[in-house]
Each structure stands twice: as C-alpha cells, then as structure tokens.
Structure 1
Amino acid sequence: MLSRSARRVSLTVLLLVCASCARVPRPAVTRPQEALVEFSDTVKLVDDGESASLRIALDQSLIWLRTRPVEQRFVYGPREVTAGELVSALERLRARLTDGMSSLEVSKAVMEDFDLLESAGGEDGTVLFTGYYEPVLEASLSRTDEYRVPVLSAPDDLIEVPLEPFAERFASERVFGRLEGKRLVPYWNRAEIRGGRLSPRKLELAWVKDPVSLFFMEVQGSGTLRLNDGGERRVGYAASNGRPYRSIGALLIQEGVIPREQMSMQALRAWLAANPTERDRVLDYNESYVFFRFLPGAAVGSLGREVTPGRSIATDARLFPKGGLAFILTDHPVKMADGSVQWRPLARFVFNQDTGGAIRGAGRVDVFWGRGPEAELAAGMMKQKGRLLFLVPRPRVPVVEAR
C-alpha cells in the first residue's frame, strides 16, 4: 500500500500508460483475495470526465450499498472492508464533489479517503477493456409481416440456483435450468428457442425486424425499442438460459473469414448481412440466450441500479467488489469530422456496477457508453489493453479527545 508521503506524490506525478506495456505473466486469478495486488506505482488520477456524471454514478452505488447489511464484508484483494465503511467513505466523497470541479480537485477529493490497489490482470498480467452500449431497435408490440422476430420475457419454468449457500467457494456463482421430473437439467439452447420451443408460452414482449440486432441487444444486456407507433420502450436483462457465452467473433476468426485485427461488432454485422445463409449457424454457435423485461427508466446493471454512461463498468462479480469505486486507464475511439477514427486516452473514475457472461477473470473490464452513434462506435471497436485500479477506503484513525 502507498505510504502517506507516496500518496501525496501520486497527486503530482503523471504516469503515461501505454496499452502495450509489458507485464509480468501471472497465474490465472481464481479467488477475490488474488484479484487485487498492492499498488506501488505513482500515478496521477487525471479524470477526463465531468464531475456531474461521477456524482450520478456514485449515488447509484450508495443506494445499493445502503441496502446491504452494515457488517457485510467486501474483499479488495489483501484488504476487507464492511458495507458500513464503504458507505461512510463514499458519503464523505459525495459531500466533497461539486459540479465543475477540475481533474486535480476531483483527484484530491478522492484520495483524502482512499488507497489504491491494482487488478492482477489476466494470465499475462494485462487488463483487456471492451465496451457496451444501449442499442435502439425498430419494433412493434404486435407481430406483423415486417416485425417477426420475438423479444422474449423469462419463462416460468426457468430455475435459477445460487450456489453460494452450498459452499462459500461458489460465491456469486449460479446455474440455470429446468426440471425433468425431479432432475434439474440445462435449459433450452439458442437454436432450440429460436426453433420455437417456447412459442406456445406467449412470452413475447415485442417483435423486431432483425434477428442480428436482437442478438447484439442480448450481448449488451439492454436496449430501447423504437415502436412503429412512435413510442419507445426500454428493455433490460431479466434472465439467461444459463448456457455458457461463446463468441461468434472468435468463431469467424477461427474459420478465417474475418482477420483478428479487423474484428469488431461493425465487422460482424457487415459479414452477417453479406452472408444471410450462414446467419443462423453462426448465431446459434453462442448457445446463451437472454430474456428481457420492460424497464420503467434507464438501463440498469447487475445491482438493479441505473448505469451511467462512461462511469459504470462491468467486471467479474466473483472477483471484484460490487458497487466499488475504481479508476481506469486505457484508450477509446473517437470519430473525427472527416469520418476517420482516432484513439484517445481514457482515464477516469468509474463504479463497478455491472457484470456479464463474457466478463470473466481479473483481466476483463466492460465500459458502459450509453446510447447513440458515439456509444455504438466505442462499444463496437474497443478491445484495448490498460490498467484497472480499485480504491479501497483507508482505515480511519480514531480521534482521541484530550483530557
């Protein structure tokens, strides 16, 4: 952990992080105690976002953390803190944050109460950053010749079994299935659901035109349905069939049809549009299927709270503390006036407010970008290396009154 003097130095020295920096290979992280390691660098936490959005994200974490038992423990690698300690530290930070603060002022406000720990990363010691967003799909609340692809709600025979009650080592693990007699068996896969296995259940929330767009909304976990009557309805994750997520991008790279260096969501969409006879085979390779529900407001993450564009991240819920404050250093794409794309540094405070089927291990982070063309660009193109730092509340020194 940084000493007090080192923490002061960390506010005046800027470490420029290269996405391709060599890192010492490490064994795969399998326990929360291994996910974060002592932080020994000096780094200036130069936040490139707006302080107003940071406050919004902070409030969402606070709302969730206040619902936790005060003594519930959150593991930050070698450190543990209670929900009460987290709430107290974040409330103090919230009181110091005001709109329009400079990056240095935000950094000073944060570092008054927090120490830094760094993600151990993946097996090569690095952290891979990707992005996700809230897509907008053309839809109808009734089936027509144009709108024929169903957006399904969760079926009532889908059983979710949290495994933590059976053994502590299964914390945040769960399985999904259905009953055959007295046996719990895997739920229907994507091909079986697409083939109409659930059609008699009347689970359709709405209908969309394009199965590829619906597939990518499943990957994102939420979206907006722009209805043919002029209205809009937001939908979010309700449940999963529990099948393991398998990347169709990795499949097409393996088959040699899209080079690895050219792979992106945009490249996938273009290839599927150009090869309609291959569409079902490729989509069905990912047996995972997501069911949706209507949302009363904005998109929500795994905490059941609204996620904030550019301030909410998804990590492996088995390894990193839910709702925790973090800092990310990586790059993100920006579309220029001439249509070209340039990569710019991304350095900001974020909150760990979501998770995902493809986000596994200490070397994966997904950044939420909101909705719109810029969000879609970032979500589709980001696959950058970088660094993930978590901020753990510093132990409070009891105040001893003079006699």
Structure 2
Amino acid sequence: MTRALWVAACLWLSAICGPANADVSHKLLEFKDLKGWNADNHSDALHVFLNTCSDLDDPDWRALCALAQNMPDAKAFFELFFRPVVIENEKPALFTGYFEPELKGALRPDLRYRYPVYREPQVAKASNPWLTRREIETGDFMSGRGLEIAWVDDPVELFFLQIQGSGRIRLTNGETIRVGYGGSNGHEYRSIGVELVRRGIYKVHQVSAQVIKNWVRRNPVAGRELLFHNPSYVFFRRLDRIPAEAGPFGAMNRSVTPLRSIAVDPAFVPLGAPVWIEKGGEAPMRRLMIAQDTGSAIKGPQRADIFFGTGDQAGREAGKLRDSGRLVVLLPIQRAYAMLSEQQE
C-alpha cells in the first residue's frame, strides 16, 4: 500500500467530526470493553503519541499533548482524558501491513541498475490525473529531464516500493539513501492481488506480496502486464535528514514506529489519534497504536495498515497480513461526546 497521498486541512476537519454520511455510526465504549487493554504497554504508545501530537492544531488535542509532555502514568493518561469510540459503516474491518523496503541501487545506470526511481515532474503536479503507469514506463516523456533519484535492479521491487510509499536504496558504494512519497500521477490505485484472484490464479487466502512477486517473476511478459493493471504511479523525494535508526516518514512528516504506528483513512480517523487495535487471524494483536500515516488503499473507518519495520523480514510479516477485527479510536472526551451528539441530531 502508498503513503501520504492526500492529507489536507479539509480532511482533518472531516476526520474530527466524521463525513456527512448517514451510513456511518459512532458507538461510545468503556475501556473495560477493550479486549486486552490492561495487558498492553501503554507507555510505548504514549511515546509514539508524543512524536506527532505537537503538530495537531485543534485546541483539544494541543491541551492533551501538553499534559503528555509531563510523562504521566500512561494507562491513566489515556483512561482519564480519552473515550473509546467505534466508528463504522457497511464495510467490515480489515487489517493489513506495510513496511519500509530496502532495494539495491546506484546513482548512475548500467546494465544491472536500469530501473529509475523518479522525482515528480512539474507537469504532473499541475495535471490530475496525468499519464498512467503504462504510459510513464513505456513512453519517453521522463527521459532526459534529470528526474532520476537513483536506478535499481528490480522492477518488481520498485513497484512494491511505490505501494509502500517509502524505502531505502543501498548503493553500490555501501551508502544508503532514503526516499519518501513525492507525488503521484493521480490515478486510482488498483490491487494486482485482487486482479490475480479475479482471474482465478489464486484464492484470496493465498495472496501475499511474496506470492505476487514470485508470480510476476515466473511470468515476465504477463507479469509486466499485470503491473500495468494498476495505473497509479508514485514519485519520490530524497529524505536525507532522517536518522538511520528512525523509521520512514508517515503522512505527518514524522518517523513511524514498528508495531505502534498505523495508516488510516483520515476522512474518519484523525491523524495523530490513539487507536486501539483488536486484530484477529493466526497472530491476534491487541495493542494501542497511533494513527500517523495514510494510504491510497486505506479507505473506510474500520481499515488500518500496520507498520512492521524495515527490511525483508518486516516485509514478509507485513505481506501476509490480511485479518479482520475491530478498530477503536480514542478521542478527547469532549470530542467523543460531540460526535455522538451530532449523530443523534
């Protein structure tokens, strides 16, 4: 999935109050209703909350961020000043995972490193939507414009770098550069995993990122056509100021934290808000996370993408995740009750 695609002030406002949609419901819970709440490490969640809460403009959030700076007892802090709210519509809950990939690359092209990682051209900024993935990769518009950040050795990994929205490129000289989301061509994301299922090649439960990569590599001609099924194309920018030990930037322009940061739909969930996760599946997860990222495939109030970290192992864990469950947003008390009042009007 693509990170930081469309965060704006109008979305922030709708995230606080929820969209004007009769199909969306809000239910207030008690903390005792959250499965596994007492067993979590709330202090870890509080530290992650502090990474981004100072960027929140709303007075209610600013006040809570100021209180959090004093490092109170974390569990008591959340229980005293927040209320759990379930925001739902007709779509069932779905949890997936994402990670920061690491690709092999070079600053100059050669026979091995020949797949460019592009900056966004000015014309794409002004035109929405712009050229499709097929047109960008098979045409000659991008060549000769100095838009290349680096060249990598694997077009499949480059495709998944665009889905993740950020990553690291390990250069031939041993250095590493980091890249983050730098724009898009404006076309809607279309899942190639869903397309493989539609064609009858795999069942839903069989599809993962690694399965898709293997199929594309085994079928180079049909595989390239499959990648073109997704017309969305992501451009990048270099991120030279992020410490090597920190995670990639999310939608809030701050580093995300493995297994504590999630991507959400900001039309329903405020960026920066604590979110309680009750994920099912083979490896159930009950923990407090912070909504610090977005993604073009993350749509709906019960949709979340969990950040797993950097590298191949994180990628394997993230790529196989597709579980149901429940997502509960922790809102400032006055915001929670205001949301319920608006629903009853």
Fold agreement, TM-score > 0.5: yes
- Equivalences for 1:146-165 in 2 at 5 Å? 146-159=112-125
CA contact (8 A) 1:45 1:327 kept: no
CA contact (8 A) 2:35 2:278 kept: no
Could you say which residue in structure 1 is the equivalent of 2:210?
A: 266
Could you say which residue in structure 1 is the equivalent of 2:27?
A: 38
Q: Which has the larger radius of gyration?
A: 1
SS state at 1:357 partner: coil
Could you say which residue in structure 2 is the equivalent of 1:363?
A: 302
**2 CA distance for matches of 1:355 and 1:380?**
17
- Partner amino acid, structure 2, of 1:355: T
User: Normalising by structure 1, what TM-score?
Assistant: 0.72
Q: CA RMSD in A?
A: 2.2
For residue 331 of structure 1, report the CA deviation from its aligned partner. Answer: 3.9
CA contact (8 A) 1:240 1:289 kept: yes
Instruction: Tell me, yes or no, if structure 1 residue 115 matches structure 2 residue 64.
Output: no
Greater shift, 130-139 or 359-368, is seen at: 359-368
CA contact (8 A) 1:316 1:356 kept: yes
For residue 232 of structure 1, report the CA deviation from its aligned partner. Answer: 0.4
- Partner amino acid, structure 2, of 1:238: G
For residue 106 of structure 1, report the CA deviation from its aligned partner. Answer: 4.0
Aligned pairs, number: 310
- Partner amino acid, structure 2, of 1:356: G
Instruction: Tell me, yes or no, if structure 1 residue 222 matches structure 2 residue 166.
Output: yes
Match of 2:134 among 150, 167, 191: 191
**2 CA distance for matches of 1:44 and 1:260?**
28
Could you say which residue in structure 2 is the equivalent of 1:348?
A: 287
For residue 239 of structure 1, report the CA deviation from its aligned partner. Answer: 0.3
Deviations 1:34-69 (A, max 9, x none): 65612246235527665564244212222321xx3x
Structure with greater proportional helix content: 2
SS state at 1:392 partner: strand
- Equivalences for 1:35-74 in 2 at 5 Å? 35=24, 37-40=26-29, 42-44=33-35, 46=37, 50=41, 53-65=44-56, 68=57
Aligned CA distance change for structure 1 residues 365 and 118 (closer, same or farther; 3 Å): same
Aligned CA distance change for structure 1 residues 246 and 217 (closer, same or farther; 3 Å): same
**2 CA distance for matches of 1:140 and 1:207?**
5
**2 CA distance for matches of 1:84 and 1:45?**
31
For residue 256 of structure 1, report the CA deviation from its aligned partner. Answer: 1.0
**1 CA distance for matches of 2:331 and 2:23?**
15
**1 CA distance for matches of 2:134 and 2:330?**
43
Greater shift, 297-306 or 249-258, is seen at: 297-306
Instruction: Tell me, yes or no, if structure 1 residue 392 matches structure 2 residue 324.
Output: no
CA contact (8 A) 2:179 2:237 kept: yes
CA contact (8 A) 2:167 2:180 kept: yes
Q: How many percent of aligned residue pairs carry the same amino acid?
A: 35
Could you say which residue in structure 2 is the equivalent of 1:255?
A: 199
Could you say which residue in structure 2 is the equivalent of 1:211?
A: 155
For residue 222 of structure 1, report the CA deviation from its aligned partner. Answer: 0.3
Unaligned runs of 5+ in 1: 1-28, 69-82, 98-104, 161-175, 178-185, 333-342, 397-403
CA contact (8 A) 2:54 2:65 kept: no
CA contact (8 A) 2:170 2:177 kept: yes
**1 CA distance for matches of 2:164 and 2:120?**
17
- Partner amino acid, structure 2, of 1:352: A
CA contact (8 A) 1:119 1:387 kept: no
**1 CA distance for matches of 2:229 and 2:270?**
32
SS state at 2:100 partner: coil
Unaligned runs of 5+ in 2: 1-17, 336-345
- Partner amino acid, structure 1, of 2:201: V
- Equivalences for 1:226-305 in 2 at 5 Å? 226-295=170-239, 296-297=241-242, 298-305=247-254
- Partner amino acid, structure 1, of 2:75: S
For residue 205 of structure 1, report the CA deviation from its aligned partner. Answer: 0.2
Match of 1:326 among 258, 275, 286: 275
User: Normalising by structure 2, what TM-score?
Assistant: 0.83
